Amino acid sequence: MQQFIMCGRNSVVESYQNGVKIDTIYLAKESNKNLFANFKGKIIIKDNAFLDKLSEGENHQGFVALISNIKILDINYLIKNQPSKVLILDHIEDPRNLGAIIRTANAAGIKDIILSKDKSADLTPTALKTSSGGFVNMNFYKVSSISATITKMKENNYWVYATALDKKALPHTKANYNSPCAIVVGNEGKGVSKSVLSVVDQTIYIEQFGTVQSLNVSVATGIVLFDLVNKNAS
């Protein structure tokens, strides 16, 4: 099973306190072991040079944890189980944006996220730290082709909505989200790719009233996801 790296004092301590399954904890100081009094796994004391290398340059503050219970599932699992709300990330590149999106999706009750296998941010120490534990109980799916995955989902009753500003786009506030559905958000610079836009059911956009040209992708994702869950709840 693949292991993932969590680092930073707050991230590691809070993950432990919230019941995240941690295999090994690496600490720079022996005195910090008392923060994990009932931990059943291994606690290993290592110098900062070792932790720097293990954490891939992320600011670890003397705390690094190895976890292996992040669920990377086959897309057929999603098709079989038909979760009602799915988030699709079309080549998000910045791991901090990925982490912030995971955190937001968790807060909105979204438990299934589809990621691009190539040319996109992975579940790195930076992404996991930024997610603030949002990865807990999340199902991730890594796919080679977002457009082919969407086509397969549509063949299995999914409605797919993508954030893009084109002639057919609706303000997200006017969208009626059918169920089950998926929301697609795109790359920080290029947005949702043309190949993906060609297979979605509806494009939606966020109306803006100020002078800025665009929103950060994690902020935009949060606005759309909470619109989706609030409409489904009403």
CA-to-CA separations, 53 to 112, 121, 127, 213, 229, in angstroms, rounded: 31, 19, 17, 39, 40
Can you give the pLDDT at residue 234?
Answer: 58
Q: Which CATH superfamily is domain 71-233 in?
A: SPOUT methyltransferase, trefoil knot domain (3.40.1280.10)
Q: What is the pLDDT of residues 122-144, one digit of tens each?
A: 999 899 989 988 888 899 999 99
- Delimit the CATH 3.30.1330.30 region(s) of the chain: 4-67
- Delimit the CATH 3.40.1280.10 region(s) of the chain: 71-233
Q: What is the pLDDT of residues 79-108, one digit of tens each?
A: 999 999 999 999 999 999 999 999 999 999
Task: Report the alpha-carbon distance of residue 105 to residue 205 in Å, rounded.
Answer: 18
* pTM for the predicted model, two decimal places: 0.90
Question: Dihedrals φ, ψ of 189, to 5°?
Answer: -100, -40
Instruction: Give the number of other CB atoms < 10 A from CB of residue 94.
Output: 19
Arithmetic mean of pLDDT, 152-170? 94
Kindly report the CATH class assigned to 4-67: alpha beta
Cα dihedral sign, 178-179-183-184 = negative
Q: What is the pLDDT of residues 9-36, one digit of tens each?
A: 988 998 888 888 899 999 999 999 999 9
